[in-house]
Amino acid sequence: MLGLRAARKFTPAVRRVTQKRLESSLSGPADNAFNRERQAVKEHAAATSDLWRKLSIYVVIPSICIASVNAWRLWEEHWEHKSHEGPIEERTEYPFMNIRTKNFFWGDGDKTLFWNPKVNHHKAPDAIDGVLVRSSAPLPGASRALQYLQKERIPFILLTNGGGKSEEERVADLSAKLDVELDTSLIVQSHTPFAEMKHLHDKTVLVVGGDYDKCQLVAQKYGFKNVVTPGDLVAAYPDIWPFSKVFLDYYKKFAKPLPKPITSPSNPESAGDGNRLKIDAVFVYNDPRDWGLDAAVILDTMLSKQGYLGTLSSKNGDVTLPNNGYQQDGQPPLYYSNPDLWWATSYHISRLGQGGFKGAFDGLWSAVTGGARLEQTVIGKPSQETYEFAETRLRRHRKALFHHIGLNDPLRQVYMIGDNPESDIRGANNYQSPHGSKWTSILLRTGVYQDGTEPSCKPDVIKDNVLQAVQWAIEDARKR
């Protein structure tokens, strides 16, 4: 800019000198005015040269030095960000490897996710409802957080207490809402571990919860060949729960024929002949929609003889037997996939979840049996079993990401991000990793937890949203 201004001032002066010379050649010797003009032009040119020399010394060179210093500082910051404890090959190709070996796991009141900021020895978990979305609407920072993890190739999984649909359907739904491409291997729903119970795949199981026949279809996808729902039963035997007769049109839209009829009261001896419906296991896959029907059918099964629907065990109430005879006659095992009492919705007060139904059924069982113990298995967060399953999935995903570089470093740190103190935070705080990894819990203000209240289970840190949680976890990982 300075050179252009000088040139603009200098050009008119040259014109005037040329004009004077032309006039001089036409009119005779140059006059004193012309000499003075030429001298002024020389002085101006000398001043301009001196100005550029000073600019070079005091402005241009210092600017280059400052730029060099700034570049060096930026490189130092970049190198510090990318630095890794100990040398590692292909570090520049995989910047995530230089955040050490931390992974993240996110969980919301209903779901959870793992991710890892340093190759490595760390990961993180995160939840879905209350962490990534709330009532199907994306939460602030959710998409950016996932995109960052994918860009930096930081291993993570989504562990959720939600369910009621296939993993493929949930991933497709999340990908569309968050505009982030996800794979089914990244998600663990509350009922995903049920797929591993292969000893029951050829048996007849009762599946409870969810919309329509979605959970039935999920169970079949897991490999269970004979799946019965309360909807199938009430469609075939409306009197099994008379209060659901008003919903028969709904149930008949998706109800399937029973594989066998239930035992007739006129012929109770038929139970055991192989031609009557026998339930070998009861699974609550998702939050029940028709609590009355579902509770009645489960109760019938728990009071039956060896799981044959339509029967009552003669051992029930026998005080000479353990547990007063209840569940002492070959009744099927009862499994819940999710203990969450509350979950976050668009309503301003959290709503009852599967844990609410479980509490109601526990009370019903106690009232019916006079306080007998109910044998049942509950998985899902915060259970040790579910966290072990999730960590196994996370380690498998991490290995798949880095197998080509021969990564053998152990998983050292997992960050759990969730909105539910009772499931996400309690699970992370109490989890005893069989692999020796350390878990850090991060509670969000975007779900079940109400800001300003004392969490029922204290987290390591509280953040406003998942993006802030990711940022904090990465900084914490760098310090370790």
Tell me which of 82, 117, 142 is where a domain ends.
82
The CATH number of the domain where 256 resides is what? Answer: 3.40.50.1000
Edge-first strand order for the sheet with 204-208 is 226-228, 204-208, 281-284, 334-336, 377-378
Tell me, yes or no, whether 186 and 235 share the same domain.
no
Inside any domain, residue 89: no
Tell me, yes or no, whether 374 and 347 share the same domain.
yes
Give the domain extent around 68.
2-82
Q: Which two tokens stand for residue 394?
A: 């996370």
Tell me, yes or no, whether 212 and 183 share the same domain.
no
Percent of the chain with pLDDT over 90: 60
Q: Report the mean per-residue pLDDT for the chain.
A: 81
Tell me, yes or no, whether 430 and 341 share the same domain.
no
Tell me, yes or no, whether 116 and 259 share the same domain.
no
Cβ burial 432-463 (10 Å sphere, 16+ → b, else e) = eeeeebebbbbbbebbbbeeeeebebebbebb
For the cut 70, the answer to whether the pLDDT of residue 138 exceeds it is yes
Inside any domain, residue 155: yes
pLDDT in tens, 72-103: 343 344 334 333 333 323 322 333 333 333 45
The pLDDT score that the predictor gives to residue 32 is: 58
The pLDDT score that the predictor gives to residue 120 is: 39
For the cut 90, the answer to whether the pLDDT of residue 142 exceeds it is yes
Tell me, yes or no, whether 217 and 285 share the same domain.
yes
The arithmetic mean of pLDDT across residues 223-246, rounded, is: 97
For the cut 60, the answer to whether the pLDDT of residue 175 exceeds it is yes
Inside any domain, residue 90: no
For the cut 90, the answer to whether the pLDDT of residue 38 exceeds it is no
For the cut 50, the answer to whether the pLDDT of residue 58 exceeds it is no
Tell me, yes or no, whether 371 and 263 share the same domain.
yes
d(CA 466, CA 450): 16
Q: Domain total for the chain?
A: 3
Tell me, yes or no, whether 342 and 202 share the same domain.
yes
Inside any domain, residue 418: yes
Tell me which of 55, 82, 109 is where a domain ends.
82
For the cut 90, the answer to whether the pLDDT of residue 106 exceeds it is no
The arithmetic mean of pLDDT across residues 412-434, rounded, is: 94
Tell me which of 54, 82, 110 is where a domain ends.
82
The pLDDT score that the predictor gives to residue 302 is: 99
For the cut 70, the answer to whether the pLDDT of residue 210 exceeds it is yes
Model confidence band, residue 135 (pLDDT cutoffs 50, 70, 90): confident
Tell me, yes or no, whether 148 and 198 share the same domain.
no
Inside any domain, residue 87: no
Structure-token match 């190739």, residue found = 153
Task: Compute, in degrees rounded to 10, the torsion defined by CA atoms 215, 216, 218, 222.
Answer: 130
Tell me, yes or no, whether 137 and 184 share the same domain.
yes
The arithmetic mean of pLDDT across residues 247-263, rounded, is: 96
d(CA 131, CA 109): 8
Model confidence band, residue 325 (pLDDT cutoffs 50, 70, 90): very high
Inside any domain, residue 180: yes
